[in-house]
């Protein structure tokens, strides 16, 4: 799943591509993706009608991000909330689509998880939502269909759902401080990596950046959060900020299959110290890096450097 740096770069790419364009038509091929965000979702005829009838004629005014979510702000206060989850993808083509036949696409930009078929044909069997715009077409493709694209007729309706109610602070917020982090961790008995990935203390950190931040801070990922000393909390805070800022700057990690809107890969993977390197030598002490499982996620750390 893409983490904050990858989603932030995708947001920037979408902002450059679609903001200012009017939506001419919306096609929904998989209604369940616009009907809810839970693990078990069912198609809603009401939501499908709203999605296809109320979004056309509106204009994309902004693309924002909260944690790993994309927030598309439309004219007249309407909002679209999207989460790519494991295998979602946005693809934009500058030329008008052929609505009846799939076609080979030459002039396109794609962001999210690459889908091989999308490199040759758009729309294709993985295309579930289509936004026909003034100058081109925006497609939402998803092979595993874990993602969601939800419509809200007003900012008030969006806020009433309190979608981000349990979320913690953004790592770049001014109020995300050492003092805040220390206070948030003081009562957490769970493993520190579990807390970091839980999104309730700080958002946008997943498997990659949790491993990298904890390595830089010299903290074992299976330590309980409450056990961290004041110095360790400060070191962790500093590591989170440095690593997340650098990852955003270079376009994210793009390990596995994630891509930016223009299909380029992020460069932060070149700077990984431990993620995906089980059995390799620690860059500090040269002892083999160890692999354990935390919350069903592969976790890499140095048993000598991290205490």
C-alpha 27/C-alpha 176 separation (Å) is 41
Q: In the block, which residue shows the tokens 């889908």?
A: 115
CA dihedral 47, 39, 257, 23 (to 10 degrees): 10
Tell me whether residue 297 is one of the annotated catalytic residues.
yes
Question: How, if at all, do strands 88-93 and 290-294 pair?
Answer: unpaired
Tell me whether residue 2 is one of the annotated catalytic residues.
yes
Cβ pair 203, 167 in contact under 8 A = yes
CA dihedral 271, 274, 279, 285 (to 10 degrees): 90
Q: How many other β-carbons are positioned within 10 Å of the β-carbon of residue 250?
A: 16
C-alpha 105/C-alpha 117 separation (Å) is 11
Tell me whether residue 3 is one of the annotated catalytic residues.
yes
Given 119, 297, 303, 304, the catalytic residue: 297
Tell me whether residue 291 is one of the annotated catalytic residues.
no
DSSP category for residue 146: -
Given 5, 6, 11, 68, the catalytic residue: 68
- Which residues are known catalytic residues? 2-3, 68, 297
């Amino acid at each position: 799943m893409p983490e904050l740096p990858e989603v932030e770069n995708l947001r920037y790419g979408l902002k450059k591509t679609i903001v200012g364009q009017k939506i001419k038509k919306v096609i929904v091929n998989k209604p369940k993706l616009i009907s809810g965000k839970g693990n078990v979702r069912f198609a809603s005829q009401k939501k499908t009608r709203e999605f296809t009838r109320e979004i056309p004629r509106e204009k994309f005014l902004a693309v924002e991000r909260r944690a790993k979510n994309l927030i598309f702000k439309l004219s007249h206060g309407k909002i679209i909330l999207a989460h790519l989850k494991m295998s979602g993808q946005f693809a934009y083509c500058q030329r008008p689509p052929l609505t009846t036949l799939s076609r080979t696409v030459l002039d396109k930009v794609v962001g999210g998880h690459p889908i091989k078929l999308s490199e040759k044909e758009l729309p294709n069997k993985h295309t579930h939502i289509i936004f026909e715009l003034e100058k081109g077409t925006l497609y939402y493709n998803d092979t595993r269909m874990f993602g969601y694209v939800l419509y809200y007729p007003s900012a008030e309706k969006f806020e009433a759902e309190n979608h981000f109610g349990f979320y913690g602070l953004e790592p770049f917020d001014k109020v995300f401080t050492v003092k805040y982090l220390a206070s948030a961790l003081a009562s957490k008995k769970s493993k520190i990596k579990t807390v970091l990935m839980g999104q309730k203390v700080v958002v946008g950190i997943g498997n990659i950046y949790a491993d990298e931040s904890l390595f830089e801070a010299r903290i074992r990922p299976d330590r309980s959060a409450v056990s961290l000393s004041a110095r360790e909390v400060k070191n962790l805070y500093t590591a989170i900020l440095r690593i997340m800022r650098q990852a955003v700057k270079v376009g994210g990690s793009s390990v596995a299959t994630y891509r930016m809107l223009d299909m380029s890969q992020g460069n932060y993977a070149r700077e990984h110290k431990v993620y995906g390197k089980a059995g390799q030598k620690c860059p500090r002490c040269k002892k083999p890096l160890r692999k354990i499982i935390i919350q069903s996620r592969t976790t890499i750390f140095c048993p000598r450097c991290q205490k």
